């Protein structure tokens, strides 16, 4: 468009180019659009605006489906062309609209107006009509500029939260929490800030904050300068400043799903702590934002679905091994004492301690507080071991070969062991040759 253009309204389906969604009461069904700056008149919003008095005095309108009981917000800019022009806003059922307000403005500046309308019972189709009342100069085809029209519901942010992988998981696993914010209302959600308390029993993974999709996707995070998201160690929570125009300290503007269907998505990661073994991790995100369609900002909040992650039981098995004597002679008995303790956080099942006697030691006997020892396999079948419980095995063997004999005991169980550095212990015993005996015959004469 260059300057000004007259286009058919939406009813003229045969026209190759028309104004979608808008209708006019003008007999020629034409809508007049001006480009911003034409004849020295800048637009109030965007790059173009409409003139109600196109070729004749008329009403510009839209019919939209509505839900009875819903509170709708409207806003608009109005300006005179040659002087003081007056227009009216009519809202109601088609054929039964009611004047809501009149606007009179001169030709030196745009007037800005806002208001609300509650859809009455039974009204599922509502007409929003902008009617020319009068125009300076008396020319029926000149007057009443209109721009920045909005009518719709307040913003309504819906948060959807997922955890990847879904689980059940184990202690030490990393969980990625992903939250999507979609504005399913009408107006933009302003000053949008999403916060999420890191769940109890997990530890935030530094540098994992990321805006995945939507405005500012790929923006810097806490590891790169706190530009759009940050982690607060004092509150153990993450915060994302979201939407168009967001900064590192303030949220931006999130359009509704008609403009931005997918909304915006963020993520961060945590590591499952030992304390979460055998438990369920619960996590919920919250968003704060403002509805600025009215005269004063209205603070609003949204809460995501509760994301639950099951964690498999964990049992930290600690093995301690000792020998009654660390130096023996060939033929003597070596006595080992093997202890396995379950440091939790959950009960252990199927506990087995493998203690295979090495060459140079011959099995003699084994006594344990629980389970049985198999000398052929070297396995001590402890069985179940409650959190905090201890089992002990006394293992006896005969030293048969001189040298340094190392013997290792290793514990395993059915549950994840959060610290495998403690489930093995080794003891070395020095076996010396047996002392030689004098030949009694050598002393005879």
Query: How does pLDDT run across 352-380, given as a tens digit for each residue?
Result: 999 999 999 999 999 999 999 999 999 99
Quick check: 401 and 346 in contact, CB under 8 A?
A: no
Q: Looking at the DSSP assignment, which residues form a beta bridge with residue 32?
A: 6, 51
User: CATH number of 4-152: 2.50.20.10, 2.60.120.260, 3.30.300.30, 2.20.28.10?
Assistant: 2.60.120.260
- Residues 382 and 370 sit within 8 Å (Cβ to Cβ): yes
Residue 296's CB is within 10 A of a number of other CB atoms, namely 7
Range scoring the smallest mean pLDDT among 122-131, 168-177, 180-189, 221-230: 221-230
Contact of 280 with 209, CB cutoff 8 Å: no
Grade residue 435 by pLDDT with cuts at 50, 70 and 90: confident
- Parse the chain into domains and list their residue ranges: 4-152, 157-310, 315-432
CB atoms within 10 A of CB 213: 16
Q: Which of 83, 18, 76, 89 is nearest to 44 (CA)?
A: 76
Tokens representing 351?
Answer: 């506990």
Residue 167's pLDDT band (cuts 50, 70, 90): confident
Residues 241, 97: Cα–Cα separation, whole Å: 41
Helix (H, G, I), strand (E, B) or coil at 265: strand
What single DSSP character describes residue 256? Answer: B
CA distance 113 to 102: 10
CATH fold group of domain 157-310: Immunoglobulin-like (2.60.40)
The class (CATH top level) of 315-432 is mainly beta
Predicted confidence (pLDDT) per residue in 261-281, tens digit: 999 999 999 999 999 999 999
CA–CA distance, 146 with 156 (Å, rounded to integer): 27
pLDDT at 219 over 70: no
Q: Give yes or no on whether 157-310 and 315-432 have one common fold.
A: yes
pLDDT at 15 over 50: yes
| Cα first-last separation, the chain | 137
Nearest-CA neighbor of 295 among 114, 145, 119, 123? 114
Token match 């915006």: residue?
264
CA distance 411 to 125: 73
Cα(30)–Cα(7) distance, integer angstroms:
5
pTM: 0.79
Given the DSSP bridges, would you call strands 23-24 and 111-118 parallel, antiparallel or unpaired?
unpaired
* Tens-digit pLDDT profile for residues 109-121: 999 999 999 999 9
**Taking all residues of the chain, what is their mean pLDDT, rounded to a whole number?**
93
> What was the pLDDT predicted at 224?
47
């Amino acid at each position: 468009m260059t300057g000004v253009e007259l286009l058919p309204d939406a009813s003229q389906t045969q026209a190759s180019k028309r104004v979608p969604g808008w209708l006019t009461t003008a007999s020629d069904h034409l809508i007049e659009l001006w480009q911003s700056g034409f004849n020295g008149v800048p637009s109030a919003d965007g790059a173009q605006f409409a003139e109600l008095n196109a070729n004749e005095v008329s009403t510009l309108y839209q019919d939209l489906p509505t839900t009875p009981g819903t509170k709708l917000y409207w806003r608009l800019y109005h300006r005179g062309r040659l002087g003081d022009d007056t227009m009216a806003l009519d809202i109601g059922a088609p054929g039964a609209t009611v004047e809501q307000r009149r606007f009179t403005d001169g030709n030196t500046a745009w007037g800005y107006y806002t208001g609300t309308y509650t859809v009455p019972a039974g009204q599922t189709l509502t007409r929003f009509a902008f009617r020319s009342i009068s125009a300076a100069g008396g020319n029926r085809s000149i007057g009443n500029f209109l721009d920045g029209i909005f009518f719709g519901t307040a913003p309504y942010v819906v948060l959807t939260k997922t955890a990847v992988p879904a689980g059940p998981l184990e202690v030490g696993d990393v969980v990625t929490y992903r939250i999507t914010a979609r504005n399913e209302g009408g107006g933009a959600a302003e000053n949008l800030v999403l916060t999420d308390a890191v769940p109890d029993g997990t530890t935030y993974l530094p540098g994992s904050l990321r805006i995945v999709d939507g405005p500012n996707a790929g923006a810097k995070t806490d590891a790169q300068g706190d530009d759009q998201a940050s982690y607060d160690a004092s509150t153990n929570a993450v915060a994302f400043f979201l939407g168009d125009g967001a900064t590192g300290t303030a949220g931006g503007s999130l359009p509704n799903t008609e403009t931005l269907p997918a909304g915006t998505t963020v993520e961060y990661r945590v590591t499952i702590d030992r304390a979460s073994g055998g438990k369920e991790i619960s996590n919920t995100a919250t968003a704060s934002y403002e509805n600025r369609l009215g005269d004063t900002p209205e603070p609003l909040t949204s809460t995501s679905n509760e994301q639950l992650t099951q964690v498999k039981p964990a049992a930290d098995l600690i093995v301690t091994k000792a020998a009654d004597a660390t130096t023996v002679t060939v033929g003597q008995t070596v006595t080992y004492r093997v202890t396995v303790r379950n440091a939790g956080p959950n009960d252990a099942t199927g506990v087995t301690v493998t203690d295979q006697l090495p060459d140079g030691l011959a099995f003699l006997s084994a006594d344990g507080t629980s389970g049985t020892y198999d000398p052929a396999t070297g396995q001590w079948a402890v069985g179940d071991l409650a959190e905090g419980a201890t089992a002990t095995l006394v293992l006896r063997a005969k030293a048969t070969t001189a040298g340094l004999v190392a013997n290792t005991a290793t514990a395993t169980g059915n549950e994840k062991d959060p610290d495998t550095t403690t489930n093995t212990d080794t003891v070395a015993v020095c076996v010396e040759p047996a002392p030689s005996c004098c030949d009694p015959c050598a002393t005879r004469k």
